[in-house]
Homo-oligomer: A and B are copies of this chain.
Amino acid sequence: MMDIMKRIYMDHSATTPVDPLVVDAMLPYFSERFGNSSSLHSFGQEADEALSLARAQVADSIGAQAEEVIFTSGGTESDNIAIQGVISRDSGKKQHIITSVIEHPAVLSTCDFMKGIGHDITYVPVSSEGIVNVDDIEKAIRDDTVLISVMHANNEIGTIQPIEEIAKIAKDNDVYLHTDAVQSVGKIPVDVNKLGVDMLSISSHKLHGPKGVGALYVREGTLLKPVTFGGGHESGLRPGTENIPGIVGFAKASSIAKERLAIDSSQMGRLRDSIIKKVFDTIDDVRLNGHATKRLPNNANLSFRYVEGESMLMLLDIAGIAISTGSACSSRSRHASHVLDSIGLDPDYVHGSIRISLGRDNTMEEVDYLAGTLRETVSKLRQISSPAKC
């Protein structure tokens, strides 16, 4: 049986534990090889070499050239540089961006801000299965469109968007294409050339790397302006002393993720399918949100009628299982998640949604324990709630 003292983590879309191999790779860069990569002396040169190697590793993991990778402080900053870097925030010229309604707040809030200062944003809708319609994007293109930003995979419902097809439209219309691949790297293949994107955001802490570091892929020739100003680091796009231990760890995590991709994704997919089957076999009035097949192998977003998400989350937490309701960032607010809203989920279900996001270390034993605990949890909460008119 399950050792109940061991906590089970199934919230890998929020963040992941750092791989011990990654911590080992980082450690020498804290107190021994601690130089500033801009320094000319041997400490600085060690740091600079580590930085170059890390850049090559991250680039390699997404099929890019080393010079096309700029390091940032995380996915949010990468998204901001991509969007703010393209649109002319200060020129007074009105420009147009196309994005989707299910983007992460790092993209949506940045677009909202741009709208607030006079630019135009088209937020294309998604189907009830959470997929963007490529025609909607094509139709939205205008003469003043400068950027399309559509995420590779959604952080809440795990749906995978048709980036390759969008890339064709972007290319035909000479518009930049950015994709937020924060959730997809390490779960499905991510290759900037196959995808055909001009920019792509990654976040280290979602792939068993350290927090506080990420990258923006910027295709050679893409014209970007920086958001912050300083010492001209990262090709002038992202100033500040480079976080060498973080970057080294991120690069190690990227390499490992690439190496393990086939095995990890099939293993996570097997467990995820088992969760869905067990839940549907044992619990009534449940729905799987998102698309049946066009989804990340580690994501199961489920809605239960007559129960509320936070209550489920807490009971599962007490039972030692960590999951989330919607995205980590929004679980403190009582609004229904904008993603679940945008797929038109029945109001009876929308507040009873949880996201189970697996990682490569989860096991079938843990999945069994989850399924059993979830059944008890839903049953307990339904006893409290129904048949109050819900």
Stretch from A139-147, A239-247, A259-267 contacting the other chain: A239-247
Cβ–Cβ contact A41 & B322, under 8 A: yes
Contact, CB under 8 Å: B317 / A38: no
A32 at the interface (CB under 8 A from B): yes
> Is A211 within 8 A of B39, CB to CB?
no
The reply on A44 being an interface residue by CB < 8 A is yes
Q: Give the docked Cα–Cα distance between A310 and B241 (Å).
A: 20
Shortest beta-carbon distance, A359 to chain B, in Å? 11
- Collect the chain B residues with CB atoms within 8 Å of residue A330's CB: 231
Contact A74 to B7, CB < 8 A, known contacts A230-B106, A245-B211, A313-B41: no
**A367 in contact (CB, < 8 A):** no
Q: Does A14 contact B (CB under 8 A)?
A: yes
User: Do A228 and B40 contact each other (CB < 8 Å), given the known contacts A90-B89, A105-B239, A212-B73?
Assistant: no
Residues in A302-332 with C-beta less than 8 Å from chain B = 310, 313-314, 316-317, 322-325, 328-332
Give the residues in chain B near A105, CB-CB below 8 Å: 229-232, 239
Which B residues touch A44, using CB under 8 A? 14, 322, 328
Q: Is A347 located at the chain interface by the 8 A CB criterion?
A: no
Docked-complex contact A212 and B243, CB < 8 angstroms: yes
A20 lies within 8 A of chain B by Cβ: yes
Between A7, A246, A330, the greatest number of chain B beta carbons within 10 A of the residue's beta carbon is seen for A246
Q: Which residues of B contact A9 (CB under 8 A)?
A: 43
Instruction: Kindly supply a per-residue 1/0 record for chain A positions 215-251, scoring 1 wherever the CB is within 8 Å of any chain B CB and 0 otherwise.
Output: 0000000000001111111000001111111100000
Q: Is the CB of A31 within 8 A of B18?
A: yes
A328 to B243, CA, bound (A): 15
Residues of B within 8 A of A243 (CB): 73-74, 210-213, 246
User: Given A39-B331, A205-B241, A232-B105: A73 and B76 within 8 A (CB)?
Assistant: no
16 more contacts with CB within 8 A, not counting A23-B30, A80-B228, A243-B246, are A15-B35, A15-B241, A17-B30, A18-B34, A19-B31, A36-B328, A40-B324, A40-B332, A41-B313, A73-B77, A75-B240, A76-B228, A105-B230, A210-B243, A211-B241, A227-B227
Give chain A's interface residues, CB within 8 Å of chain B. 7, 9, 11, 14-20, 22-23, 27, 30-32, 34-36, 38-44, 73-77, 79-80, 84, 89-90, 92, 104-106, 109-110, 112-113, 117, 203, 205, 210-213, 227-233, 239-246, 310, 313-314, 316-317, 322-325, 328-332
